[in-house]
A and B are shown apart, each in its own frame.
Chain A
Amino acid sequence: MDNKIKMQARKVDFFYGKTQALKDVNIDIHTNKVTAMIGPSGCGKSTFIRLFNRMNELLPHTSFSGEIFLDGMEINRSSVDAVDIRRRVGMVFQKPNPFPKSIFENISYGLRVNGIKDRGFIEQRVEDSLRKAVIWDEVKDRLNDSALRLSGGQQQRLCIARCLAVENEVILFDEPCASLDPISTAKIEELILELKKDYSIVIVTHNMQQAARVSDYTGFFLLGELIEFGKTQDIFTAPRDKKTEDYITGRFG
Protein backbone atom coordinates (compact mmCIF):
# COMPACT_ATOMS: atom_id res chain seq x y z
CA MET A 1 0.00 0.00 0.00
CA ASP A 2 2.95 2.23 0.71
CA ASN A 3 3.63 3.13 -2.89
CA LYS A 4 0.13 3.80 -4.24
CA ILE A 5 0.02 7.34 -5.56
CA LYS A 6 -3.19 9.40 -5.45
CA MET A 7 -1.95 12.74 -6.75
CA GLN A 8 1.22 14.01 -8.37
CA ALA A 9 2.71 17.42 -9.05
CA ARG A 10 5.23 17.63 -11.87
CA LYS A 11 7.48 20.58 -12.74
CA VAL A 12 5.18 23.06 -11.10
CA ASP A 13 5.94 26.79 -11.45
CA PHE A 14 3.55 29.44 -10.19
CA PHE A 15 3.61 33.24 -10.43
CA TYR A 16 1.70 36.03 -8.69
CA GLY A 17 2.19 38.71 -11.33
CA LYS A 18 5.94 38.66 -11.87
CA THR A 19 6.75 37.16 -8.49
CA GLN A 20 7.60 33.49 -8.68
CA ALA A 21 5.90 31.67 -5.79
CA LEU A 22 6.75 28.08 -6.75
CA LYS A 23 9.83 26.79 -8.54
CA ASP A 24 9.90 23.39 -10.22
CA VAL A 25 8.03 21.52 -7.52
CA ASN A 26 7.60 17.75 -7.90
CA ILE A 27 5.77 15.68 -5.33
CA ASP A 28 3.76 12.46 -4.92
CA ILE A 29 0.73 12.31 -2.63
CA HIS A 30 0.28 8.75 -1.37
CA THR A 31 -3.09 7.06 -1.13
CA ASN A 32 -4.51 6.73 2.42
CA LYS A 33 -1.59 8.64 3.89
CA VAL A 34 -1.25 12.08 5.43
CA THR A 35 1.22 14.35 3.66
CA ALA A 36 2.25 17.53 5.47
CA MET A 37 3.74 20.66 3.96
CA ILE A 38 5.79 22.78 6.32
CA GLY A 39 7.84 25.93 5.91
CA PRO A 40 7.95 29.57 6.97
CA SER A 41 5.27 32.08 5.98
CA GLY A 42 5.37 32.93 2.31
CA CYS A 43 7.26 29.78 1.33
CA GLY A 44 4.54 28.75 -1.12
CA LYS A 45 3.04 25.80 0.72
CA SER A 46 -0.54 27.11 0.70
CA THR A 47 -0.24 28.24 -2.91
CA PHE A 48 0.99 24.77 -3.70
CA ILE A 49 -1.88 22.77 -2.19
CA ARG A 50 -4.45 25.04 -3.79
CA LEU A 51 -3.21 23.70 -7.13
CA PHE A 52 -4.51 20.27 -6.18
CA ASN A 53 -8.14 21.35 -6.66
CA ARG A 54 -7.62 24.24 -9.07
CA MET A 55 -8.40 26.90 -6.48
CA ASN A 56 -5.64 29.20 -7.75
CA GLU A 57 -7.26 29.69 -11.13
CA LEU A 58 -9.89 31.81 -9.35
CA LEU A 59 -7.15 34.35 -8.54
CA PRO A 60 -6.43 37.15 -11.04
CA HIS A 61 -2.95 37.93 -12.41
CA THR A 62 -1.51 34.50 -11.72
CA SER A 63 0.14 32.03 -14.03
CA PHE A 64 0.83 28.37 -13.71
CA SER A 65 2.85 25.83 -15.59
CA GLY A 66 3.43 22.16 -14.94
CA GLU A 67 1.11 19.23 -14.38
CA ILE A 68 -1.10 18.01 -11.56
CA PHE A 69 -2.41 14.46 -11.73
CA LEU A 70 -5.34 12.88 -9.90
CA ASP A 71 -5.34 9.09 -10.31
CA GLY A 72 -3.10 9.60 -13.34
CA MET A 73 -5.38 12.18 -15.01
CA GLU A 74 -4.03 15.70 -15.60
CA ILE A 75 -6.60 17.96 -13.91
CA ASN A 76 -5.90 21.20 -15.76
CA ARG A 77 -6.90 19.87 -19.20
CA SER A 78 -9.72 21.84 -20.77
CA SER A 79 -11.88 18.72 -20.89
CA VAL A 80 -11.78 18.42 -17.10
CA ASP A 81 -14.53 20.13 -15.08
CA ALA A 82 -13.03 22.15 -12.20
CA VAL A 83 -16.20 21.67 -10.14
CA ASP A 84 -15.85 17.91 -10.49
CA ILE A 85 -12.23 18.15 -9.34
CA ARG A 86 -13.26 20.22 -6.30
CA ARG A 87 -15.87 17.63 -5.44
CA ARG A 88 -13.26 14.87 -5.50
CA VAL A 89 -10.58 16.99 -3.84
CA GLY A 90 -12.15 18.86 -0.92
CA MET A 91 -10.64 21.62 1.14
CA VAL A 92 -10.79 22.72 4.76
CA PHE A 93 -9.52 26.21 5.50
CA GLN A 94 -7.72 27.94 8.31
CA LYS A 95 -10.77 29.80 9.53
CA PRO A 96 -13.87 27.62 9.81
CA ASN A 97 -16.26 28.85 7.13
CA PRO A 98 -19.67 27.28 7.67
CA PHE A 99 -22.54 28.63 5.57
CA PRO A 100 -24.84 30.95 7.55
CA LYS A 101 -27.43 28.19 7.52
CA SER A 102 -28.50 25.36 9.77
CA ILE A 103 -26.13 22.55 10.71
CA PHE A 104 -28.21 20.17 8.58
CA GLU A 105 -28.20 22.46 5.54
CA ASN A 106 -24.45 22.95 5.74
CA ILE A 107 -24.00 19.25 5.11
CA SER A 108 -26.91 18.66 2.72
CA TYR A 109 -26.06 21.63 0.50
CA GLY A 110 -23.32 19.85 -1.45
CA LEU A 111 -25.63 16.92 -2.06
CA ARG A 112 -28.49 19.06 -3.32
CA VAL A 113 -26.28 21.02 -5.74
CA ASN A 114 -25.13 17.64 -7.02
CA GLY A 115 -28.78 16.94 -7.88
CA ILE A 116 -29.66 14.55 -5.08
CA LYS A 117 -33.30 14.93 -4.00
CA ASP A 118 -34.07 11.76 -2.03
CA ARG A 119 -34.77 13.10 1.50
CA GLY A 120 -34.07 9.77 3.24
CA PHE A 121 -30.77 9.43 1.42
CA ILE A 122 -29.76 12.98 2.30
CA GLU A 123 -30.65 12.52 5.99
CA GLN A 124 -28.62 9.35 6.17
CA ARG A 125 -25.63 10.95 4.45
CA VAL A 126 -25.79 13.96 6.79
CA GLU A 127 -25.75 11.66 9.80
CA ASP A 128 -22.91 9.51 8.38
CA SER A 129 -20.79 12.55 7.59
CA LEU A 130 -21.31 14.13 11.00
CA ARG A 131 -20.46 10.81 12.65
CA LYS A 132 -17.28 10.43 10.61
CA ALA A 133 -16.24 13.94 11.58
CA VAL A 134 -16.86 13.01 15.24
CA ILE A 135 -19.35 15.79 15.85
CA TRP A 136 -22.66 13.89 15.59
CA ASP A 137 -23.08 13.40 19.34
CA GLU A 138 -22.61 17.12 19.92
CA VAL A 139 -25.14 18.30 17.30
CA LYS A 140 -27.68 15.51 16.75
CA ASP A 141 -30.31 17.21 18.91
CA ARG A 142 -29.98 20.61 17.24
CA LEU A 143 -29.50 19.95 13.55
CA ASN A 144 -31.74 22.90 12.71
CA ASP A 145 -29.73 25.39 14.77
CA SER A 146 -27.52 27.83 12.93
CA ALA A 147 -24.04 26.48 12.31
CA LEU A 148 -22.69 29.85 13.38
CA ARG A 149 -23.72 29.09 16.96
CA LEU A 150 -21.19 26.25 17.19
CA SER A 151 -17.77 26.75 18.79
CA GLY A 152 -14.74 27.24 16.53
CA GLY A 153 -13.61 23.64 16.96
CA GLN A 154 -17.12 22.35 16.23
CA GLN A 155 -17.43 24.61 13.17
CA GLN A 156 -14.16 23.19 11.84
CA ARG A 157 -15.37 19.61 12.29
CA LEU A 158 -18.64 20.63 10.62
CA CYS A 159 -16.64 21.92 7.63
CA ILE A 160 -14.82 18.58 7.51
CA ALA A 161 -18.20 16.78 7.60
CA ARG A 162 -19.33 19.00 4.72
CA CYS A 163 -16.38 17.75 2.69
CA LEU A 164 -17.07 14.14 3.57
CA ALA A 165 -20.74 14.38 2.53
CA VAL A 166 -19.90 14.74 -1.15
CA GLU A 167 -17.69 11.66 -0.90
CA ASN A 168 -14.46 13.23 -1.92
CA GLU A 169 -11.27 11.21 -2.20
CA VAL A 170 -8.65 13.74 -1.18
CA ILE A 171 -8.94 16.33 1.59
CA LEU A 172 -6.68 19.37 1.60
CA PHE A 173 -6.29 21.02 5.00
CA ASP A 174 -4.88 24.54 4.98
CA GLU A 175 -3.85 25.35 8.56
CA PRO A 176 -6.99 23.68 9.94
CA CYS A 177 -6.09 24.29 13.59
CA ALA A 178 -4.62 27.78 13.37
CA SER A 179 -7.61 29.36 15.09
CA LEU A 180 -8.37 26.52 17.52
CA ASP A 181 -7.50 25.87 21.15
CA PRO A 182 -5.30 22.85 22.09
CA ILE A 183 -8.20 20.49 22.90
CA SER A 184 -10.03 21.26 19.64
CA THR A 185 -6.70 20.89 17.86
CA ALA A 186 -6.14 17.46 19.42
CA LYS A 187 -9.64 16.43 18.28
CA ILE A 188 -8.97 17.52 14.70
CA GLU A 189 -5.62 15.70 14.72
CA GLU A 190 -7.23 12.48 15.98
CA LEU A 191 -9.90 12.93 13.30
CA ILE A 192 -7.27 13.30 10.57
CA LEU A 193 -5.59 10.07 11.73
CA GLU A 194 -8.98 8.35 11.57
CA LEU A 195 -9.92 9.79 8.16
CA LYS A 196 -6.76 8.64 6.43
CA LYS A 197 -8.12 5.11 6.47
CA ASP A 198 -10.60 6.23 3.78
CA TYR A 199 -9.04 9.38 2.29
CA SER A 200 -5.73 10.73 1.06
CA ILE A 201 -4.89 13.81 3.07
CA VAL A 202 -2.67 16.83 2.50
CA ILE A 203 -2.15 19.29 5.32
CA VAL A 204 -0.38 22.64 5.34
CA THR A 205 0.70 23.75 8.75
CA HIS A 206 2.89 26.35 10.45
CA ASN A 207 3.02 24.02 13.39
CA MET A 208 5.88 21.60 12.80
CA GLN A 209 4.90 19.54 15.82
CA GLN A 210 1.50 19.06 14.28
CA ALA A 211 3.07 17.86 11.04
CA ALA A 212 5.16 15.43 13.09
CA ARG A 213 2.12 14.14 14.98
CA VAL A 214 -0.29 13.55 12.12
CA SER A 215 1.63 12.95 8.93
CA ASP A 216 3.29 10.01 7.21
CA TYR A 217 5.19 12.16 4.70
CA THR A 218 6.52 15.68 5.08
CA GLY A 219 7.69 18.24 2.55
CA PHE A 220 9.72 21.28 3.58
CA PHE A 221 9.26 24.42 1.46
CA LEU A 222 11.51 27.45 1.41
CA LEU A 223 11.16 30.42 -0.92
CA GLY A 224 8.98 28.50 -3.34
CA GLU A 225 11.22 25.47 -3.54
CA LEU A 226 10.60 22.02 -2.15
CA ILE A 227 13.84 21.58 -0.21
CA GLU A 228 13.22 18.10 1.11
CA PHE A 229 10.47 15.51 0.95
CA GLY A 230 10.41 12.19 2.75
CA LYS A 231 8.94 10.01 5.46
CA THR A 232 7.96 12.19 8.41
CA GLN A 233 9.94 9.93 10.70
CA ASP A 234 13.12 10.61 8.70
CA ILE A 235 12.51 14.33 8.25
CA PHE A 236 12.08 14.86 11.99
CA THR A 237 14.83 12.56 13.26
CA ALA A 238 17.50 12.79 10.56
CA PRO A 239 16.80 15.28 7.75
CA ARG A 240 19.27 15.14 4.88
CA ASP A 241 19.31 18.86 4.08
CA LYS A 242 20.95 21.38 6.39
CA LYS A 243 18.19 23.91 5.65
CA THR A 244 15.53 21.44 6.78
CA GLU A 245 17.45 20.72 9.95
CA ASP A 246 17.87 24.43 10.69
CA TYR A 247 14.15 25.01 10.25
CA ILE A 248 12.86 22.11 12.34
CA THR A 249 15.35 22.76 15.14
CA GLY A 250 14.46 26.46 15.25
CA ARG A 251 17.92 27.64 14.13
CA PHE A 252 16.41 29.24 11.09
CA GLY A 253 17.11 32.81 10.08
Chain B
Amino acid sequence: MERHFDTELADLKSDILQMGDLVEESIIDSVGALKDLNKGRAERVIVEDKTIDEYELKIDEECLDLLALRQPMAVDLRFITMAMKISTDLERMADLAVDISQRVLELADKAPLLKPLVDIPKLTLLAQRMTRDVIKSFISKDVELAKEVIFCDKEADRLRDCVQEELLNDYISKDKETISRAIPLILVARHLERICDHATNIAEDVIYMVEALVVKHHIEKLDQEG
Protein backbone atom coordinates (compact mmCIF):
# COMPACT_ATOMS: atom_id res chain seq x y z
CA MET B 1 0.00 0.00 0.00
CA GLU B 2 1.33 3.44 -0.90
CA ARG B 3 1.61 5.71 2.11
CA HIS B 4 1.40 9.51 2.33
CA PHE B 5 4.17 9.10 4.88
CA ASP B 6 6.55 7.95 2.13
CA THR B 7 6.37 11.36 0.47
CA GLU B 8 7.40 12.97 3.74
CA LEU B 9 10.29 10.54 4.12
CA ALA B 10 11.39 11.32 0.56
CA ASP B 11 11.36 15.05 1.37
CA LEU B 12 13.53 14.44 4.42
CA LYS B 13 15.97 12.36 2.39
CA SER B 14 16.21 15.09 -0.22
CA ASP B 15 16.95 17.72 2.45
CA ILE B 16 19.79 15.59 3.84
CA LEU B 17 21.13 15.17 0.30
CA GLN B 18 21.05 18.92 -0.34
CA MET B 19 22.69 19.65 3.00
CA GLY B 20 25.37 17.07 2.22
CA ASP B 21 26.10 18.74 -1.14
CA LEU B 22 26.55 22.11 0.57
CA VAL B 23 28.88 20.62 3.18
CA GLU B 24 30.99 18.96 0.51
CA GLU B 25 31.23 22.29 -1.34
CA SER B 26 32.32 24.05 1.86
CA ILE B 27 35.11 21.54 2.41
CA ILE B 28 36.30 21.87 -1.20
CA ASP B 29 36.19 25.67 -1.02
CA SER B 30 37.96 25.96 2.33
CA VAL B 31 40.96 23.87 1.30
CA GLY B 32 40.81 25.32 -2.21
CA ALA B 33 41.28 28.72 -0.56
CA LEU B 34 44.30 27.38 1.32
CA LYS B 35 46.13 26.47 -1.88
CA ASP B 36 46.48 30.07 -3.11
CA LEU B 37 45.60 31.78 0.23
CA ASN B 38 42.44 33.17 -1.36
CA LYS B 39 40.78 35.29 1.34
CA GLY B 40 37.61 35.94 -0.66
CA ARG B 41 36.94 32.22 -1.11
CA ALA B 42 37.60 31.54 2.59
CA GLU B 43 35.20 34.30 3.61
CA ARG B 44 32.51 32.89 1.33
CA VAL B 45 32.71 29.56 3.21
CA ILE B 46 32.15 31.39 6.49
CA VAL B 47 29.11 33.23 5.09
CA GLU B 48 27.63 30.12 3.45
CA ASP B 49 27.72 28.29 6.78
CA LYS B 50 24.49 30.06 7.77
CA THR B 51 22.61 28.19 5.04
CA ILE B 52 23.93 24.89 6.36
CA ASP B 53 22.90 25.81 9.92
CA GLU B 54 19.40 26.49 8.62
CA TYR B 55 19.29 23.06 7.00
CA GLU B 56 20.21 21.48 10.33
CA LEU B 57 17.33 23.25 12.09
CA LYS B 58 14.91 22.40 9.28
CA ILE B 59 15.87 18.71 9.28
CA ASP B 60 15.64 18.48 13.07
CA GLU B 61 12.18 20.00 12.98
CA GLU B 62 11.04 17.66 10.20
CA CYS B 63 12.32 14.65 12.16
CA LEU B 64 10.68 15.79 15.37
CA ASP B 65 7.34 16.28 13.61
CA LEU B 66 7.57 12.89 11.92
CA LEU B 67 8.34 11.20 15.24
CA ALA B 68 5.45 12.92 16.99
CA LEU B 69 2.90 12.74 14.20
CA ARG B 70 3.61 9.49 12.37
CA GLN B 71 4.82 7.22 15.17
CA PRO B 72 7.35 5.52 12.89
CA MET B 73 8.36 1.91 13.53
CA ALA B 74 11.29 -0.33 12.59
CA VAL B 75 13.10 0.83 9.43
CA ASP B 76 11.16 4.13 9.37
CA LEU B 77 12.09 4.81 13.00
CA ARG B 78 15.76 4.05 12.35
CA PHE B 79 15.76 6.25 9.24
CA ILE B 80 14.31 9.28 11.03
CA THR B 81 16.41 9.04 14.17
CA MET B 82 19.57 8.55 12.11
CA ALA B 83 18.65 11.48 9.85
CA MET B 84 18.56 13.60 12.99
CA LYS B 85 22.05 12.47 14.03
CA ILE B 86 23.42 12.77 10.52
CA SER B 87 22.30 16.38 10.24
CA THR B 88 24.22 17.14 13.45
CA ASP B 89 27.39 15.52 12.06
CA LEU B 90 27.00 17.35 8.75
CA GLU B 91 26.64 20.65 10.54
CA ARG B 92 29.81 19.96 12.55
CA MET B 93 31.64 19.14 9.32
CA ALA B 94 30.61 22.49 7.89
CA ASP B 95 31.83 24.19 11.08
CA LEU B 96 35.19 22.53 10.59
CA ALA B 97 35.30 23.89 7.02
CA VAL B 98 34.72 27.30 8.62
CA ASP B 99 37.62 26.61 11.01
CA ILE B 100 39.85 25.77 8.04
CA SER B 101 38.77 29.01 6.36
CA GLN B 102 39.73 30.95 9.46
CA ARG B 103 43.20 29.34 9.37
CA VAL B 104 43.40 30.42 5.72
CA LEU B 105 42.64 34.01 6.74
CA GLU B 106 45.37 33.85 9.40
CA LEU B 107 47.88 32.40 6.95
CA ALA B 108 47.01 34.90 4.23
CA ASP B 109 48.27 37.67 6.49
CA LYS B 110 51.61 35.85 6.78
CA ALA B 111 52.01 34.81 3.15
CA PRO B 112 53.64 32.93 1.54
CA LEU B 113 52.96 29.41 2.83
CA LEU B 114 55.73 27.90 4.91
CA LYS B 115 56.20 25.00 2.51
CA PRO B 116 54.55 23.44 -0.52
CA LEU B 117 51.59 21.30 0.61
CA VAL B 118 51.99 17.55 0.14
CA ASP B 119 50.00 15.57 2.71
CA ILE B 120 47.27 18.17 3.29
CA PRO B 121 45.99 17.86 -0.30
CA LYS B 122 45.96 14.06 0.12
CA LEU B 123 43.99 14.44 3.35
CA THR B 124 41.66 16.88 1.61
CA LEU B 125 40.92 14.44 -1.17
CA LEU B 126 40.27 11.74 1.40
CA ALA B 127 37.91 13.95 3.44
CA GLN B 128 36.07 14.96 0.29
CA ARG B 129 35.72 11.38 -0.88
CA MET B 130 34.55 10.14 2.52
CA THR B 131 31.96 12.92 2.70
CA ARG B 132 30.63 12.22 -0.76
CA ASP B 133 30.60 8.45 -0.28
CA VAL B 134 28.91 8.54 3.08
CA ILE B 135 26.06 10.69 1.77
CA LYS B 136 25.77 8.33 -1.16
CA SER B 137 25.68 5.34 1.19
CA PHE B 138 22.90 7.00 3.20
CA ILE B 139 20.81 7.77 0.16
CA SER B 140 21.24 4.39 -1.51
CA LYS B 141 21.34 2.42 1.77
CA ASP B 142 24.69 1.01 0.65
CA VAL B 143 26.29 -0.76 3.61
CA GLU B 144 29.41 -1.79 1.69
CA LEU B 145 30.16 1.83 0.80
CA ALA B 146 29.58 2.88 4.42
CA LYS B 147 32.09 0.23 5.52
CA GLU B 148 34.67 1.57 3.05
CA VAL B 149 34.25 5.02 4.60
CA ILE B 150 34.85 3.60 8.07
CA PHE B 151 38.00 1.80 6.91
CA CYS B 152 39.36 5.04 5.41
CA ASP B 153 39.43 6.68 8.82
CA LYS B 154 42.79 5.10 9.75
CA GLU B 155 44.40 6.64 6.69
CA ALA B 156 43.05 10.04 7.73
CA ASP B 157 44.67 9.64 11.15
CA ARG B 158 47.96 8.64 9.53
CA LEU B 159 48.02 11.64 7.19
CA ARG B 160 47.26 14.02 10.07
CA ASP B 161 50.16 12.54 12.03
CA CYS B 162 52.48 12.93 9.03
CA VAL B 163 51.62 16.63 8.70
CA GLN B 164 52.04 17.18 12.41
CA GLU B 165 55.39 15.36 12.71
CA GLU B 166 56.89 16.98 9.64
CA LEU B 167 56.01 20.48 10.78
CA LEU B 168 57.17 19.83 14.34
CA ASN B 169 60.41 18.09 13.49
CA ASP B 170 61.50 19.85 10.30
CA TYR B 171 60.30 23.38 11.06
CA ILE B 172 59.15 24.31 14.57
CA SER B 173 61.93 22.54 16.48
CA LYS B 174 64.56 23.92 14.13
CA ASP B 175 63.33 27.50 13.88
CA LYS B 176 60.85 28.96 16.37
CA GLU B 177 60.14 31.80 13.96
CA THR B 178 58.11 29.32 11.84
CA ILE B 179 55.60 28.60 14.63
CA SER B 180 53.01 31.15 13.55
CA ARG B 181 52.97 29.75 10.03
CA ALA B 182 53.28 26.07 11.03
CA ILE B 183 50.59 25.87 13.71
CA PRO B 184 47.71 26.86 11.39
CA LEU B 185 48.78 24.12 8.97
CA ILE B 186 48.83 21.55 11.79
CA LEU B 187 45.35 22.75 12.76
CA VAL B 188 44.10 22.45 9.18
CA ALA B 189 45.25 18.82 9.17
CA ARG B 190 43.43 18.26 12.46
CA HIS B 191 40.25 19.92 11.15
CA LEU B 192 40.35 17.69 8.08
CA GLU B 193 40.87 14.60 10.18
CA ARG B 194 37.89 15.61 12.35
CA ILE B 195 35.80 15.94 9.20
CA CYS B 196 36.74 12.34 8.40
CA ASP B 197 35.69 11.33 11.94
CA HIS B 198 32.25 12.82 11.41
CA ALA B 199 31.96 11.04 8.06
CA THR B 200 32.81 7.84 9.93
CA ASN B 201 30.08 8.55 12.50
CA ILE B 202 27.58 8.95 9.70
CA ALA B 203 28.76 5.71 8.10
CA GLU B 204 28.14 3.90 11.39
CA ASP B 205 24.65 5.41 11.55
CA VAL B 206 23.97 4.27 7.97
CA ILE B 207 24.89 0.69 8.89
CA TYR B 208 22.56 0.87 11.88
CA MET B 209 19.83 2.37 9.75
CA VAL B 210 20.01 -0.37 7.10
CA GLU B 211 20.92 -3.46 9.10
CA ALA B 212 20.03 -2.51 12.69
CA LEU B 213 23.63 -3.45 13.52
CA VAL B 214 25.50 -1.31 16.06
CA VAL B 215 29.13 -0.94 14.93
CA LYS B 216 29.80 2.26 16.85
CA HIS B 217 32.64 1.65 19.34
CA HIS B 218 32.74 -1.94 18.06
CA ILE B 219 34.75 -1.80 14.88
CA GLU B 220 35.65 -5.48 15.33
CA LYS B 221 32.07 -6.31 14.35
CA LEU B 222 32.82 -4.86 10.93
CA ASP B 223 36.03 -6.87 10.55
CA GLN B 224 34.12 -10.04 11.40
CA GLU B 225 31.40 -9.13 8.98
CA GLY B 226 33.70 -8.77 6.09
Q: Which residue numbers of A lie inside 8 Å of B, CB to CB?
A: 186-187, 190, 193, 209, 212-213, 232-233, 236-237
Contacts and interface: CB of A to CB of B under 8 A. Distances in A.
Contact of A233 (B1, B2, B69, B71): B69
B68 A237 contact: yes
A209 B66 CA distance: 12
Contact of A212 (B2, B3, B4, B70): B70
Nearest to B3: A190
The 8 closest A-B pairs by CB, nearest first: A212-B69, A236-B68, A193-B4, A237-B68, A209-B71, A233-B65, A236-B69, A213-B70
Secondary structure dominating the interface of B: helix
B170 to A, nearest CB: 56
A187 B64 CA distance: 24
A212 B64 contact: no
A213 B65 contact: no
Secondary structure dominating the interface of A: helix
Interface of B: 1-4, 64-65, 68-71
A227 to B, nearest CB: 19
B63 to A, nearest CB: 11
Contacts of B2: 190
15 contacts: A186-B3, A190-B1, A190-B3, A190-B4, A193-B4, A212-B68, A212-B69, A212-B71, A213-B69, A213-B71, A232-B69, A233-B65, A233-B68, A233-B69, A237-B65
Nearest to B2: A190
Contacts of B64: 237
Nearest to B65: A233
Nearest to A232: B69
A66 B69 CA distance: 33
Contacts of A237: 64-65, 68
A69 to B, nearest CB: 29
A213 B4 CA distance: 10
A43 to B, nearest CB: 22
Nearest to A183: B1
Nearest to A187: B1
A209 B5 CA distance: 14
B2 to A, nearest CB: 8
Nearest to A236: B68
Nearest to A211: B69
A213 B73 CA distance: 13
Nearest to A233: B65
A174 to B, nearest CB: 22
A207 to B, nearest CB: 11
A185 B67 CA distance: 19
A232 B65 CA distance: 10
Contacts of A187: 1
Given A213-B71, A233-B68, 10 more contacts: A187-B1, A190-B1, A190-B3, A190-B4, A212-B69, A212-B70, A236-B68, A236-B69, A237-B64, A237-B68
Contacts of A209: 71
A236 B65 CA distance: 8
A193 B4 CA distance: 8
A68 B114 CA distance: 79
Contacts of A190: 1-4
A86 to B, nearest CB: 29
A85 B71 CA distance: 36
